[in-house]
Amino acid sequence: MSSLEEQIAAVEDEIRTTAYNKATQLHIGRLKAKLAVLRLERETRAKGRGGGLGYAVRKSGHATVGLVGYPSVGKSTLLTRLTAAESESAAYDFTTVSIIPGMLRWGGASIQLLDMPGLVPGASKGRGRGREVLSVVRSADLVLFLIDPEHPNLRALANELEGAGIRINQRPPRIVIHRSDRGGLTISSTVRLTHLAGGAAAQIAREFGMHNGSIVFREDATVDQLIDVLAGNRVYLPALLAVNKSELLTPSERAKLAAELRPVEPAFISARDQTGLDELVDQIGHALRFIRVYVKPPGRPPDLDEPVVLREGDTVEGLLHRLPTELDRTFRTAQIWGRSARFPGQSVGREHVLSDEDIVTVLVARGSARSAA
């Protein structure tokens, strides 16, 4: 019986050496599924040994940004420039051996920036503390890739994240899975499937040990997307790219690099000379999709100077978590003025999704100590 690593290597090899065509398509799909299952097993074992759990990073601020790049691209220098944190930097690799947090402000929101050890090739397989670093990346709200003009290999960097189950600038596939113990497997779809037609989906599900239940496709998903949903431990993160040390580039070198990186549009910065940094912070702020919500105590005007900063998609529930716990405990209904309200003063429940610049009055159950926020 070969070891787990050997099995993984063997399947990876077979995928690499099998030519992709109509006849091998399903076979490759099943190999990919097999590989995903073996990798899940490897994760489980690593966790059992206490490895792969990552650093304990206490999140703070309204959102967390993970700084991802190879060693010596200037991550620590950038953190020091953007935040008050003291991240030591030096002209050799691996100066940062732990995760260093710093805080920056953007339009009323505070954003935690995490400087971490540089990724090295093979990080997702555990090289150079890669697994620990990647588990910190998983918990971030945004990835900021940093590359330098000498090693502009964004693809390799992104592949390390892919290998660790992190999906960049993608939304979760619209596939709904229900497992059960009996009744066989039902596959249905609301659109025509071009990648997973003719029993392919069922065969891939079986590789994951799923023999009963239902899979509903709400989009024309690929094999990889189905595998992601079956594996179940993927995270979907937005990402930005910055090219550091860009003061070293001539205008034509810069244009050439920009063309190579297309369709990604990098921010060209110099952490050393502090150029392009304001624009970068703006990009970060927009990418995090903050919204500002104003709380209005009943019968009084809202406090327009002190918004509660939330993220797009956050609900009244999320707002309550930011207010005194008493309000959360005794919450009855919320009244909304603004873009998310169908009419001014609409009453909504905890699940209501808020919009930027909404005004919210929290009403609490009668007989509670205070009647409202």
Ligand X SMILES: Nc1nc2c(ncn2[C@@H]2O[C@H](COP(=O)(O)OP(=O)(O)O)[C@@H](O)[C@H]2O)c(=O)[nH]1
Which partner from the list ligand X, Mg ion, none does 244 bind, CB cut-off 5 to 8 Å by kind?
ligand X
Residue 71 CB, shortest distance to Mg ion, in Å, is: 7
- Indicate the residue among 205 and 284 with the shorter CB distance to ligand X: 284
Pick from 64, 96, 112, 340 the residue near Mg ion by CB under 5 A.
Answer: 96
Site string for ligand X, 96-115 (x = CB under 6 A): x-------------------
The interface partner of residue 91, options being ligand X, Mg ion, none and the CB cut-off 5 to 8 Å by kind, is ligand X
Contact region with Mg ion (CB under 5 A), list: 30-38, 60-68, 70-78, 192-200: 70-78
Of residues 150 and 312, the one with the C-beta less far from ligand X: 150
Residue 104 interacts with which of ligand X, Mg ion, none, CB < 5 to 8 Å by class: none
Site string (71-90) toward Mg ion, x via CB under 5 A: ----xx--------------
Residues 41-80: x/- map of binding to ligand X (CB under 6 A)?
A: ----------------------------x-xxxxxxx---
Give the residue among 66, 32, 6 at the shortest CA–CA distance from 195: 32
83 binds ligand X (CB under 6 A): no
Q: Which two tokens stand for residue 352?
A: 């209501």
Q: In b/e form, how buried is each residue of 52-67, taking b as 16+ CB within 10 angstroms?
A: bebeebeeebbbbbbb
Radius of gyration of the chain (CA): 24
Select the span of 89-97, 189-197, 323-331, 361-369 touching ligand X (CB under 6 A).
Answer: 89-97
Name beta bridge partners: 147. 243
CB of 361 to ligand X, least distance (A): 47
Smallest distance from the beta carbon of 129 to Mg ion, in angstroms? 13
Sign of CA dihedral 196, 202, 203, 208: positive
Instruction: Work out how close the CB of 157 gets to ligand X at its nearest, in angstroms, rounded to a whole number.
Output: 12
Angle between helices 25-48 and 223-231 (to 10 degrees): 30
To ligand X, the closest distance from the beta carbon of 273 in angstroms equals 6
Residues numbered 238 to 267 that lie near ligand X (CB under 6 A) are 244-245, 247-248
Decide if residue 118 touches ligand X (CB under 6 A): yes
**Contact window for ligand X (CB under 6 A) among 90-98, 121-129, 137-145, 341-349:** 90-98
Q: Is 328 left (phi over 0), alpha (psi -120 to 50) or beta?
A: alpha
- Binding stretches for Mg ion (CB under 5 A): 75-76, 95-96
| Interacting residues toward ligand X by CB under 6 A | 69, 71-77, 89-91, 95-96, 118, 244-245, 247-248, 270-272
